[in-house]
Every structure is written in C-alpha cells, then in structure tokens.
Amino acid sequence: MALENLISVSFTEEELTQLDGHLLGIRQILNGKTVNLTPDQRRQYGRIANQNKLIVDKAKNYMEQHPNWIPSFLDKQEFDSDYIARQQVEGRVQMLENLTQQLVDTKTLLDHDNYTNALSFYRMSRYLAGENEPGAKTVYEDMKVLFSKATTTPDNEDTTA
C-alpha cells in the first residue's frame, strides 16, 4: 500500500539565494534597532494587551488635544517616536509571524512524510534481514538502536509518526 504524501515542495537554488538575501537584508535593516530580552526581562516588561493598547491610543489622542496637561517629566517627542515605531514594527511582526507559521507548518508536513517513509524503510530492512538478504541485518541492527525501548517501536508495529 502506498503511503500518503502530505506535501510536495521544492525550492530552486535561485529561490533559496533570493530568500536568503532578503532575510539578510531584513537582518541588516534591523541591526542596532532591535533588542533581545532575557526571559526575566520578558516577564518583567510583558506585552500590552488590546485593552492597554486602547489606553495608549486614548492617552495619545488626549495629549494631542491638551498638550498643557502633559507632565513636565514626560518627553512627548520620545513618546510620539516610540508610538510611531511601535506601529511600524507591529505590522511587520504580524507579517513575519504569519510567514514563520507557514514555514513551520510546511516543515511539520515534510517531517511527517520523511519520518513515515523512514519507518517504512526500517520495516523493510527488518523483513529483509529475516529473509537473509545480504547486508540487510547490518542495516536493520544499526537502525534498531535508534528506537528507545521506553516507547513503542516499529518492531511493535506502531504506525503513528
């Protein structure tokens, strides 16, 4: 019985070169403009939820209407600069997250196809080893060690990937 191939995709060398060039270009543009927070810093600063975005938007709107109410210690120019940059970054983050998820999902299906086919090959090597096919026992024994006894192995006829 033929295995179901969940996905078939390929990239030309030219496409990969272009993709890598674009990713390098993104990295170069972002160099010096982005930061890497530690896990503790991420917990400390968190992310503002939609409700808090509304607070920021409302405060900005009122600051524009009532500039004399802005506290003297608040740098309005820096606030505006951060506000604009945040908007610019947010749209790109959403686009990159979408592309990342597409790549991860594609890789998941490719991994599934590869693993399912590798299991089929392993099972065939086990069969051929039992039939004394020259070299099959060596291949089967070499692959067999990759399967932990703590989990169900292909020897136990588990077909889940």
Confidence of residue 153 (pLDDT cuts 50, 70, 90): low
* Residue range 50-55: mean pLDDT, rounded: 93
Single out the residue of 143, 94, 92, 149 nearest to residue 118, CA to CA: 143
On the question of pLDDT at 43 being above 80, the answer is yes
Among 67, 130, 113, 104, CA closest to 144? 130
| Tally of domains within the chain | 1
Look up the domain containing 148 and give its range.
Answer: 44-156
Q: For residues 102-115, give the mean pLDDT.
A: 97
pLDDT in tens, 17-41: 999 999 999 999 999 999 999 999 9
pLDDT bin (cut points 50, 70, 90) of residue 4 is confident
In the chain, the percentage of residues whose pLDDT exceeds 70 is 91
Domain assignment present for residue 1? The answer is no
Domain presence at residue 35? no
Q: How many C-beta atoms lie closer than 10 Å to residue 122's C-beta?
A: 19
Q: What residue has token string 């990759």?
A: 146
